[in-house]
Chains A and B, each alone.
Chain A
Amino acid sequence: MDKGAAELQTRELTINMGPQHPATHGVLRLVLDLDGETVVKCTPYIGYLHRGVEKLAENRTYLSALPLTDRLDYISAMANNQGYCLAVERLFGVEAPERAKYIRTMVAEMSRISSHILWLGTHALDIGAMTVFLYAFREREWLLDLFEMLCGARLTTSYARIGGVRNDVSQEFIDSLYRFTGEFPRRIEEYETLIDQNRIWLKRTKGIGVIEADEAVNWGLSGPTLRGSGVSYDVRKHAPYDAYDKVEFDVPIGKRGDVYDRYRCRMEEMRQSNRIIRQCIEKLPVGPVMAPDAPKISLPPKDNVLKTMESMIHHFVLITKGPMAAPDGEIYSCTEVPKGELGFYFVSDGSGRPYRMRVRAPSFVHASVIPRLCEGSLVADVIANIGTVDIVLGECDR
C-alpha cells in the first residue's frame, strides 16, 4: 500500500438521531455509527422525558397518584389507569363491581385501538406511506371524542378509580361506540388495501428486524412485539383481569418475528379489540360502578357529598388525610396495555401513601432491543425498527 492510500483511512460516520427527530416518536435519541448506509453500532439514549413519576407517587396518596399514570403511555391513558387501579385494588383487597369491570375492559380496548391506530399511522408515515397516517387519525379522532364524551378528557383521562370507575357510561356514549364498532372493521380493511398488498411496503417490512421467539423472550419483550415472534403470551388470556375471562377473543401471533409479522399482529389485535368492545356493550350488566367498600379509598360522587353526611366526611378525610391506610406488604400486578405488559409493583408500609411504586414499562424493555434489531441493517430500517417495537418515551423514561 502506498503512502497516499494509507492516509485515506475510512472511518465510520457517527450521526446523532434525535432527541429532536421526526421519526423517533418523542425524545428517543440514537447514536448511529454508519459504514455507508449500514448501521454498525446503535446506542439508544433515554431519559429526556424523565419526570420522576415513581418518586412523585411516594409523596402522594394512592388516589392522587392516579393522574400520574395518564402520563406514562400518554397514548393509552385508559389502559394505564386500569393497570394502576387493579394493582391498588389488590393491595387494598377491594374488587370493582361487575359493571365497572366491563366498562374498564371496554375503555381499555378502546385505548388499545387508539394506540394501535396511532402506531399504524406513524409507522406507515415513517416508511413513507403518508396517506395511512391521516386515515388512521380520522378513526382516532372518533375514539378521542368518545373519551371526551365519557370523562371530559381526550388524552389524560384518569377515568378508572380504585374500586370502579369515575362515572357511569351514558346511553349516548354506548350508542356512538356501538356505531364505531360496526364501522371500524371496514376501516381496517381500508388501511390494509393501502399498504398490505403494496410491494414496496412488503419489501420494507418482510424479513426486516427479525427476532426469534426464544431470543424475544430473553430480551423480555411483551405484547405484540413478542407475539410477532410466535410466542402466544397475553396477560389478558393467561391471567385474566376485569372482564377478560368473560369475553371471547383470539390472540393473534406471527411466525417469523419480522416487522411485517408484528404489523399483522397489531392489525389483527385491533379487530379482536373491536370484538371485545362489542361483547362488552352487549353483555354490560346493570349495577353500581363503584365498589361498596371503596369510599374509604376513592372519592364519593359529588352528588352524595352535597347530600349525605357520611359521604361528606369521606370526602373531607380523603382530601385532607388520604385514603385509609393500606395493609403492609408488597404486590405486583400486571396488565396487557397496547405496548405490552405493564406492571405495577407496590411496597406498602401501612400508610396512605406507597412506600415505593415501581412501574414495569414495556417501552423501557423494548427500547433496549432496538440496537439488537438495527445493527447490521440499513439506515432506512432503523426507522422501521423504531416503529415496530412501538415505544412511547413517556412510559420508557417515566
Chain B
Amino acid sequence: MSLFEMVVTPGSVDTLFYIGSMLLRIVIIFGVIMLHVAYASYFERKTIGHMQVRMGPMVVGPRGLLQPIADGIKLFFKEDIIPAESDKPVFYIAPIISLFAALSSLAVVPLFNGFVIANINIGLLFILAMSSLGSYGIIMAGWSSNSKYSFLGGLRSSAQVISYEIAMGLSLVGVMMLAGSLNLTEIVKAQERYPLNMFLIPQIVGCFVFVIAAIAETNRAPFDLPEAESELVAGYFVEYSGMRFGLFFVAEYMAMIIMASVGIVCFLGGWNPPLSILEIPYVPFAWFFIKLYILIFIYFWVRATLPRYRYDHLMSLGWKVLIPLALANIVITAIVKVLL
C-alpha cells in the first residue's frame, strides 16, 4: 500500500496521526532551532561584547533583543548579487547544500526521551555523514565564486574538515563501544549507569578530542581559517550577499548547535540531569538546553580568547595530536571494557 493509499483509505487514522505527529515534531524542532540560531547570534554578540568591555547590540528593541530579527529582515531585502564570472548553478546550490546538511542532522537528535523525528539506529553515523556533506557546500561556494580569496578559503576548509572529521569520528568510537549502539537515544540511556549520568568521566579523552574537533568542524575560532578575516577577507563566502550569505550564516550556527547536541548526547548524558535531585519536573528537555547553552557559551568564550591557528599548525594538531589521542582512547576503552 502506497503512502497515498494509506492516507486516503478510510480507517487508517493511525497513519494520519503518525504523519501529523511527525509533521508537528518537525515544525516544533525547526521552529525551536531556528529561534535558537537567531538568538545564538545575539547571545554571541552579547557574550563577546561583555568580554571585550563593550555592550554588544543595544539599539533595536529593549537591550537590543530584536537585533537578530532586524538582521534577518535586512538580509532578506538585500540585493542578491551574483558575480558575472561565477559558475551560476553551483553558486546557487552551495548555500542550500550547507544549510540542508545542517538541518537534516536535526532529525536524529533526541531532545528528550522519545522526542526525536527519526529514531534510526545509525543516528551517530548519519550526523557524521551530514556534517561531511556540509563541507561540500563550502567547497562549491569557494570554487563557483571564481574568486581567488574564496577559492583559497574553500581549499582550506576541505582540508580542515577532512582532517578533523577523522579525529571526531575516532573520538566517538569510545562512546559507541561503551553504549554498544549508534542510536542516539540508546547512547543517552546507556549513560545512566555511569557517574553523573554521563560518559564524560570514562571518556574524558574522547570528549576533549571531540570538543576541539567540533570547533574545527564548524569553522569557528580559533580554527576559523577558511573565513580568516585578516587573510582571506571572508574566505569562501566573500562573494555572497543578501540571503545567500544569510544561509551560510544560519548553517554555521546550525552546525554549531548540532555539534553541541552531539557532544551532549554522547558525552554529557543528553536530557538526563547530572544528579537525580537536580531533575526539573514537567520540563523533560530542560537539562538538554542547559547543557546546550553551556557548550555554546564555551564556543563564544574560546572565540573571544584565542588567536587564530595557522594552517600548518592546524594540520599538525589534527594529525599528530588529536588522531593519536583518539586512537589511544579507543585502545584503552577496548581493554578496559574487555577486562571489566
Contacts of A382 in B (CB 8 A): 231
Chain B residue at minimal CB-CB distance from A124? B307
Contacts known (A129-B306, A134-B53, A198-B307); A380 close to B222, Cβ less than 8 A: no
A134 to B221, CA, bound (A): 17
A112-136 residues at the B interface, CB under 8 angstroms: 124-131, 134-135
Quick one: which of A13, A15, A22, A204 contacts B307, CB cutoff 8 A? A204
Q: Are B305 and A128 in contact (CB under 8 A)?
A: no
Chain B at the A interface: SS class:
helix
Q: Are A128 and B230 in contact (CB under 8 A)?
A: yes
Q: Are A128 and B308 in contact (CB under 8 A)?
A: yes
Tell whether A379 is near chain B: CB-to-CB under 8 Å.
Answer: yes
Contacts of A201 in B (CB 8 A): 307
Quick one: which of B225, B232, B307 contacts A129, CB cutoff 8 A? B307
Tell whether B313 is near chain A: CB-to-CB under 8 Å.
Answer: yes
Contacts known (A134-B52, A378-B312); A127 close to B231, Cβ less than 8 A: no
Contacts of A381 in B (CB 8 A): 310
A22 to B238, CA, bound (A): 13
A381 to B308, CA, bound (A): 12
A349-384 residues at the B interface, CB under 8 angstroms: 378-383
Tell whether B249 is near chain A: CB-to-CB under 8 Å.
Answer: no
Chain B residue at minimal CB-CB distance from A195? B307
Tell whether B229 is near chain A: CB-to-CB under 8 Å.
Answer: yes
A131 to B301, CA, bound (A): 10
Contacts of A14 in B (CB 8 A): 148
From residue B310, how far is it (CB to closest CB) to chain A in Å? 5
Chain B residue at minimal CB-CB distance from A384? B310
Tell whether A313 is near chain B: CB-to-CB under 8 Å.
Answer: no
Tell whether A153 is near chain B: CB-to-CB under 8 Å.
Answer: no
Contacts known (A198-B307, A200-B307, A200-B309); A130 close to B52, Cβ less than 8 A: yes
Tell whether A21 is near chain B: CB-to-CB under 8 Å.
Answer: yes
Q: Are B230 and A379 in contact (CB under 8 A)?
A: no
Q: Are B54 and A13 in contact (CB under 8 A)?
A: no
Q: Are B304 and A380 in contact (CB under 8 A)?
A: no
Quick one: which of A15, A131, A198 contacts B304, CB cutoff 8 A? A131
Q: Are A380 and B306 in contact (CB under 8 A)?
A: no
From residue B309, how far is it (CB to closest CB) to chain A in Å? 6
Tell whether A37 is near chain B: CB-to-CB under 8 Å.
Answer: yes
A204 to B230, CA, bound (A): 14
Contacts known (A13-B148, A22-B230, A135-B53); A128 close to B307, Cβ less than 8 A: yes
Contacts of B148 in A (CB 8 A): 13-15
Q: What size tier do the contact residues of chain A reach?
A: 20 to 34
From residue A284, how far is it (CB to closest CB) to chain B in Å? 32
Contacts of B331 in A (CB 8 A): none
A382 to B52, CA, bound (A): 26
Tell whether A3 is near chain B: CB-to-CB under 8 Å.
Answer: no
From residue A187, how far is it (CB to closest CB) to chain B in Å? 11
A384 to B323, CA, bound (A): 29
From residue B157, how far is it (CB to closest CB) to chain A in Å? 13
Contacts of B232 in A (CB 8 A): 379
Contacts of A103 in B (CB 8 A): none
Contacts of B54 in A (CB 8 A): 134
Chain A CB within 10 Å, residue with most, of B51, B230, B311: B230
A297 to B148, CA, bound (A): 55
Tell whether A283 is near chain B: CB-to-CB under 8 Å.
Answer: no
Tell whether A138 is near chain B: CB-to-CB under 8 Å.
Answer: yes
Tell whether A239 is near chain B: CB-to-CB under 8 Å.
Answer: no
**Can you pick out 13 interface pairs between chain A and chain B where the beta carbons lie within 8 Å of each other?**
A13-B148, A34-B152, A37-B311, A37-B312, A128-B221, A128-B222, A128-B309, A130-B52, A200-B308, A378-B312, A379-B311, A380-B225, A383-B230
In the complex, besides A128-B309, A204-B310, A380-B225, 20 extra interface pairs with C-beta distance below 8 angstroms are: A13-B148, A13-B152, A14-B148, A22-B233, A37-B311, A129-B305, A129-B308, A131-B304, A131-B305, A200-B222, A200-B306, A200-B308, A200-B313, A379-B152, A379-B232, A379-B311, A380-B228, A381-B310, A382-B231, A383-B230
